[in-house]
A and B are shown apart, each in its own frame.
Chain A
Amino acid sequence: MPALAEALVHSATAGPLVHQSLIDFNLAGLGRNFWGLTIEGLTYGAIYALVAVGYTLVYGVLRLINFAHSEVFMLGMFGQYATLLLLGFYPSGNAYDKGILLTVLYLGIAMLGGMIVAGGTAVGLERVAYRPLRKRGAPSLVFLITAIGMSFVLQEFVHFVLPKLTGGTLGGVNAQQPIRLVQPEVQFTIGGAPVTNVTLVIILSALVLALATDLFINRTKFGRGIRAVAQDPVTATLMGVSRERVIMLTFLIGGILAGAAALLYTLRVPNGIIYSGGFILGIKAFSAAVLGGIGNLRGALLGGLLLGVMENYGQVVFGTEWRDVVAFVLLIVVLMFRPTGILGESLGRARA
């Protein structure tokens, strides 16, 4: 993820020091930039968290690692990009200046476009790939391999087929030229750390979405259905919950949140819209879901934020190139001590 690392170099001033030794333990840098790093980490963490919800809900209901969810996220990025193109925006070096209200409106529409594409992809994925397997009662490894296969298919679709369908406008080997609606500007500072408008938008929207999802899962009839199926599919069916509908709903929610995360991610990393752009982020988000306790909604949110913040600290202490290592080591260490994640496994019992 070179774009991501590049973007971080600007924010973390203590980042790429000349490393004389293999690993430099730059604890002083961590102390100096603590707030800045925390805010930056929360920004990424919020995006991880939204994607992680998709993994965790599907896992809770189906006991399936939906490997193709990273591609749902990737298609969400293309969805919001295409929406912006349809709205008449063109990629250019400068950011558009439409005023706050119109910008928010356009971003909202783009997010909606991303959500529709990602949600549609997720539901289509479930229909085409997973439902036939469920009907045959396939073992879980078969589901995993199918997910991997669909991940290949979706990536290569954007890689080769999409440019042919759109006359080269979308997809292909290279990343899309960025369309910038928002120019990062410092709004205020916390403890000496600058907070940009992009950061604010990302964290606030992620919070709103997370809260809405939590309410939906824990307070509504549909959410009760999802929790019931996660807890005990057979009994839930006997109680009149349609398992198939719940599964479709679960994929839809996961896809919608991935689409929203896609827009937020492209605000932060405008150059990241590429066919292979979802893979690493997907792995991170899945790690986040496992970290918090897979199958557990609040666990996914907590895990995402924690992973984002911790890897941001880690990359300052150990050096930028150790960012991903920190994330995976954190995951392994947490699982050693809490084998089902920080908050435990059950979606069914994830109440306040």
Chain B
Amino acid sequence: MSTSTPAPQPSSSGAPTSMPPAGRVATKDRPHGGVGDRLRLWWDALPRPTQWLVGVPFVLFMALVPILNIPVLTTVGTNFGGVMAQFGMIALIAIGLNVVVGQAGLLDLGYVGFYAIGAYTVAILTSPDSPWNQAGEGHWLGREWAWLAALPVAIAITSLSGLILGSPTLRLRGDYLAIVTLGFGEIVRLLADNLDELTGGGQGLRGVAYPRLGVTEDLPNGVFSAGNAAGTLNSGVWWYWLSLVFIVISLLFVGNLERSRVGRAWVAIREDEDAAEIMGVPTFRFKLWAFVIGASIGGVAGALYAGQVQFVIPTNFNVINSVLFLCAVVLGGQGNKLGVILGAFIIVYVPNFFLGRTELFGIPINGNEIASYRYLFFGLALVVLMIFRPQGLIPVRQKLLTYGRELYVAARRSAHVVAPRGGSDGGARPGTPAVATASGGAGGAAPVAGGPTADGPGTARSTTNEEETR
């Protein structure tokens, strides 16, 4: 319970204690009273099937975005499908990195290393240039590896690398971990550059395999090949759809983890590692888990990248990419899965948006020049955002991880009932007053604000509340 103290917390800056009211924009004196929070409360209180009913059409809509050709949204200078494919990959990376940085609170500046390992695993297994791939037909290191067959290997190897990097380094804290992971990212890139006999060195590896689907007369290599460049249904769109599938899978996976014992352990570690350790959370093991899971998701993204570009080269895995990934996570709102996806979208989309554009809403602009200034604007935007909205665009809220939905339903009911009458309504709903008290600390509109955090005792309390509600 006591872990939600006024100490600066990386993720809970929406709580009134950690942020003076003057520092907030547009939410007046009630930190949780905005539209977003009402939406959140509504969503959290929905039953699971209803959430699916809303979520599935939304995902379908997102899938259709690149082929609907929406006027201003569609990019002019580059292929919109390609942009969305890139977004899909970065979104996947952001989800993976969010597990490490946002949920477990481990600052990882070398995440690009896992991305590179995933990409290189696929490339080494399938590229005809790969020096390990010169064995003839039928040999297990032959060239017959399909992209989909290489994917599990890539995941396995990146997880293993996460384990190898994590097991010695996760004993370090905070900034030391940051610099060590940064070094790791650089080492991976330099290894790719220097181990010519394995990775092709600076020449890179060409001809990486990709899924061969939808082979027709016009497209002898299938819809995923780079040859499918023209038209609405180009290869970029197909890769985007493939990455959407992986995004949905990893969201379900990570979301379920988040609500499980593992997720509660991560939150506890993030908020206060010493306290978590004392409360009996095996912190090292769970930190390692976060690292391994994050790494494996990064490996998937790397495999997607290698397949889409069909060409891997060390310069694509610079440290600066790690920094960009981290920016996507922080920009969107670390700890919040939807937020980091939005962050990934902004990082990928905004520079491409201006490319080749000569007018915007009737105002003539020189889009190419604006696009070349992208890092300048990007840096400024980061600085301004960190000053005015440090928790990110869609910040994470502390919420109940166990028995959450029942409580949210009760809280919403009480918000409807309590507000007009100005008090509890007694006998009809015996549990309501208890919940209202639990939520009352943050001005009535926010049942989740001062609520229990997700460590051991927090869970215990939410359980008792739950029993009272019944």
Residues on A close to B: CB < 8 A?
A: 22, 59, 63, 65, 128-129, 132-133, 135-142, 144-146, 148-153, 155-157, 159-161, 279, 283, 286-287, 290, 294, 319, 321-322, 324-325, 328-329, 331-332, 335-336, 339-340
Give me 18 A-to-B residue pairs in the complex whose CB atoms sit less than 8 angstroms apart, sorted by A's number.
A22-B197, A128-B383, A138-B386, A145-B330, A146-B382, A149-B386, A152-B382, A153-B380, A156-B373, A156-B375, A321-B194, A324-B186, A325-B187, A325-B191, A328-B183, A331-B183, A332-B168, A340-B176
Q: Give per-residue flags for B14-48: 1 if the beta carbon is below 8 A from chain A beta carbons, else 0.
A: 00001110010000000000000000000000000
CA distance A328 to B23 in the complex (A): 39
Task: Give the 7 A-B CB pairs with smallest separation, nearest first.
Answer: A152-B379, A149-B382, A328-B183, A156-B376, A153-B379, A149-B383, A136-B23
- CB of B309 within 8 A of chain A? no
Enumerate chain B residues within 8 angstroms of A286, measured Cβ to Cβ.
179
The verdict on A145 contacting B382 (CB below 8 Å), with A155-B375, A286-B179, A294-B175 known, is yes
CA distance A22 to B131 in the complex (A): 13
Tell me the bound Cα distance from A135 to B386 in angstroms: 12
Q: A137-B19, A146-B383, A148-B327 are known contacts. Are A335 and B376 too (CB-CB below 8 A)?
A: no
Q: What is the chain A residue whose CB lies nearest that of B179?
A: A290
Known contacts being A138-B8, A145-B327, A339-B176, is A133 close to B171, with CB within 8 Å? Answer: no
Min CB gap B339→A, angstroms:
14
CB <8 Å contact, B13 and A139: yes
B residues lining the A interface (CB < 8 Å): 8-10, 13, 18-20, 23, 101, 107, 168-169, 171-172, 174-176, 178-180, 182-184, 186-187, 190-191, 193-197, 319-320, 323, 326-327, 330, 334, 372-373, 375-376, 378-383, 386-387, 390
Given A59-B175, A133-B390, A138-B390, answer yes or no on A287-B376 (Cβ-Cβ < 8 Å). no
Of the candidates B9, B168, B326, the one whose C-beta lies within 8 Å of that of A336 is B168
CB distance from B298 to the nearest CB of A (A): 19
Residues of chain A within 8 A of B13, CB atoms compared: 138-139
Query: Is B386 a contact of A145 with CB atoms below 8 Å?
Result: yes
Question: 11 other contacts beyond A140-B10, A324-B190, A335-B169, with CB at 8 A cut-off?
Answer: A138-B390, A141-B101, A148-B379, A149-B379, A152-B376, A153-B383, A283-B319, A286-B179, A290-B179, A328-B183, A328-B187
Contact at A287–B178, with CB atoms within 8 Å?
A: no
Q: Which residues of B contact A138 (CB under 8 A)?
A: 8, 13, 386, 390
Which chain A positions have C-beta within 8 A of B334? 141
CA distance A279 to B320 in the complex (A): 10
Chain A residues within 8 Å of B320, by CB: 279
Chain B positions within 8 Å of A137 at CB level: 8, 18-20
Kindly name the residue among A22, A152, A321 whose own CB sees the greatest number of chain B CB atoms within 10 A. A152
Complex Cα gap A279–B322 (Å): 14
Contacts A141-B330, A148-B323, A149-B380 hold; do A22 and B196 have CB atoms under 8 A apart? yes
Q: Is the CB of B379 within 8 A of A156?
A: yes
Query: Chain B's nearest CB lies how many Å from the CB of A339?
Result: 6
CB contact between B386 and one of A22, A142, A155, A329 (< 8 Å): that residue: A142
**Chain A residue with Cβ nearest B372:** A160
Q: Which residues of chain B have C-beta atoms less than 8 A from A148's C-beta?
A: 323, 326-327, 379, 382
| Complex interface: chain B residues within 8 A of A324 (CB) | 186, 190
In the complex, chain B residues whose CB is within 8 Å of the CB of A144: 107, 178
Inside 8 A of A129's CB, which chain B residues have their CB? 383
Please, which residue of chain A has its CB at the minimum distance from the CB of B110? Answer: A328
Q: Given that A141-B10, A148-B323, A283-B186 are known contacts, is A339 also in contact with B172, CB under 8 Å in the complex? A: yes
B-chain residues with CB within 8 Å of residue A321 when the two chains form the complex: 190, 193-194
